[in-house]
Structure 1
Amino acid sequence: MVFLNNPRVFDFYAKVKSFGISIVHSNSTSEKARLLSWDASFKLIKEAPLLGYGIGDANDVLIKKYNELNYTYNLENKYNAHNQFLQTFLQTGIIGVMVLCGIFVVLAIRMRRSRNEFSVFLILLISLVFESMLVRFNGVVFFSIVMPLLLKKRSILSSRIIRNNLVAS
């Protein structure tokens, strides 16, 4: 009951209902801005699905699309796609998204044996849906999490500590 009466939750659903309407607001919520970013990204992906727009040009094209669609809040803040999969699709096209998804398939196969590591994997996967982590800090955070998981030989998070007990004689 407390969750549903939260004004931010109610405000989110009210803005989702009016998603397609272009209204200039003096302020906006992060949810609305993110949905508009995703909308513009999907429209751009439809225009260049095979090769994308290039790593350096994808954000410029996205900003032009914000201007064309009259998404002024996103335009003023020069938002990226706010979704790593969409951002990769915009930058490199279908090939880049397939490579990124391939990395996550390999991770899922390797992490399925350890509940702790699989939890880290799921958190990382979910966070990529809501943020372009390879754009943020040049991908340092993303690679500092993914590379140890890919390079490991045995479980990192669930290894047992073996203690030798000395028996008194």
Structure 2
Amino acid sequence: MSRIINEIRKLFTEGPIGIYIMAFFIPLNPRMLGIAVAIIIVEQLIRSPKINKTHLKSQLSWRNPGIWLLLFYLMHVVGLINTENMRFANMDLGMKATLGILPVFFILYKLKVNWNLFVKVFIFGAFVSIVANFFMSLGVYLKSPHFYYISGERLSHLMHRGYWAVYMVVAYFFLLKQMITAQSKMSFWMNLLGAIVMAVFIEISGSKVGFIILFFVTIWAAISLFKRFKNKWILPITSVVLVVGIAAVVILTPSIAKRLDSAIIAVSQPIENYNMEVPESTEARVMVWDSSIDLIKENFWFGVGTGDIKDELIKMNFENGYSGVAEQKLNSHNQFFNSHIAIGVFGSLFLLLSLAMNYLKLKPDELRSWRLGIITILFIALLPESMMETQAGIIPYAFFISFLTSFQPKQSA
């Protein structure tokens, strides 16, 4: 007990508390993320307001992802020039302010972070979110005991299930990474058990993007285990586990199975066969992608303007006959499409570079595999979702992209 108290005292003495608060709340509650950003900044100004010039010089490089993220935000400011809907533009700029604030902060200040603690706090936050969401759903389930009420969108109460599933996959990746590098059997099996629990809740969330990334991360883990242990049974066992997992979803959660079936049917038929007035969710995605591509072709270089994307996309959907998605006022459901329509080719290019720069090997980096795993998960999530259009996505993306290449680890992971 005294050891725990000493560790807590040391944490408050050395910090940075704000970073760990951010790690805890990303998978739990997006409403707390703005407060976490404020704590990170204020804490640093109190502890050590002096700017490290050596760090500043090293960060002012085209290889720094934060530079490209800052330029991505500044393109939204430039996009005001040809904007008519200034009300939406101002709201959008304010909501995305952390895309500019956090890169500047991490360019100026180099924080020392205990990466092992960061990972554990993030995982803990993910498990707390599972418990919190499950108990919020349990109240309805007890009144009407049907699995329907503890699955799908009814399981994610604190944020959209797409965002929740993505952050759960990040926690799943952390658990698998710890499992693969475990030095004891106890650690191996505890992390494996945690990963299985995480995977189960990702599956019953019914998030399609969650399913997709979960599949790829599981394959990566199987290959990594095979490389470490050289056991010929690892890959076949992983294949069986995936098949059993998919079968369990089909049998135990028919509503989610139906959702996946509908998605497969939707992508296998021409858009002309879709229900234009009441589209299935995958049909809606395909239709809004089609309208987005039309808008990109018409406004390739500079976009329609920061504040006009929503109006122009609705207009194009009506012109294409996609009345259902137009009335729902759906965004592009692809962040690169969304950004390109609003602020042009340079906007989507800067966003891409803010992610791609993480794949360049800058120097010997013991945490590179962790960083690449996180960034790959976040990148894949941008393809079927416009992840950076609400605070639940904006702040985590701004944080991870700016933070991962700028902090100094206190100890090896």
Q: 2:404 aligns with which of 131, 149, 159?
A: 149
Which residue of structure 2 aligns with residue 8 of structure 1?
Answer: 259
- Deviation string 1:78-135 (CA, Å, 9 cap, x unpaired) is 0111111111110111111221122112122259952222110111101111222221
Select the structure that is richer in helix: 2
Which residue of structure 2 aligns with residue 126 of structure 1?
Answer: 380
Contact 2:271 2:286 in 1 (8 A): no
Unaligned runs of 5+ in 2: 1-242, 251-256
Shift of residue 26, structure 1, vs aligned partner: 6.0
Which residue of structure 2 aligns with residue 167 of structure 1?
Answer: none
Q: Distance in 2 between matches of 1:61 and 1:145?
A: 31
Contact 1:66 1:72 in 2 (8 A): yes
Moved more, 56-65 or 109-118: 109-118
Q: Distance in 2 between matches of 1:80 and 1:89?
A: 12
Q: Distance in 2 between matches of 1:69 and 1:26?
A: 12
Contact 1:82 1:129 in 2 (8 A): yes
Written as runs of structure 1 = structure 2, the 5 A alignment for 1:9-158 is 9-21=260-272, 23-24=274-275, 27-109=278-360, 113=365, 114-137=368-391, 139-153=394-408
Distance 1:43 1:25, change over 3 A: closer
Moved more, 24-33 or 78-87: 24-33
Shift of residue 23, structure 1, vs aligned partner: 4.7
The one-letter code sitting in structure 1 at the alignment partner of 2:395 is V
Contact 1:24 1:72 in 2 (8 A): no
Shift of residue 142, structure 1, vs aligned partner: 1.7
Q: SS at 2:383's partner residue?
A: helix
Contact 2:340 2:347 in 1 (8 A): yes
Shift of residue 145, structure 1, vs aligned partner: 2.1
Q: Distance in 1 between matches of 2:305 and 2:273?
A: 28
Distance 1:152 1:86, change over 3 A: same
Q: Distance in 2 between matches of 1:26 and 1:61?
A: 19
Q: How many residues align?
A: 158
Q: Distance in 1 between matches of 2:282 and 2:300?
A: 26
Higher relative contact order (CA 8 A, sep 6+): 2
Q: Distance in 2 between matches of 1:127 and 1:110?
A: 23
Q: CA RMSD in A?
A: 2.7
Moved more, 125-134 or 47-56: 125-134
Q: Distance in 2 between matches of 1:134 and 1:54?
A: 17
Shift of residue 44, structure 1, vs aligned partner: 0.9
Q: SS at 1:56's partner residue?
A: coil
Contact 1:22 1:70 in 2 (8 A): no
Q: TM-score, normalised by structure 2?
A: 0.35
Distance 1:110 1:32, change over 3 A: farther
The one-letter code sitting in structure 2 at the alignment partner of 1:119 is G
Distance 1:70 1:124, change over 3 A: same
The one-letter code sitting in structure 2 at the alignment partner of 1:75 is A
The one-letter code sitting in structure 2 at the alignment partner of 1:53 is V
The one-letter code sitting in structure 2 at the alignment partner of 1:148 is F
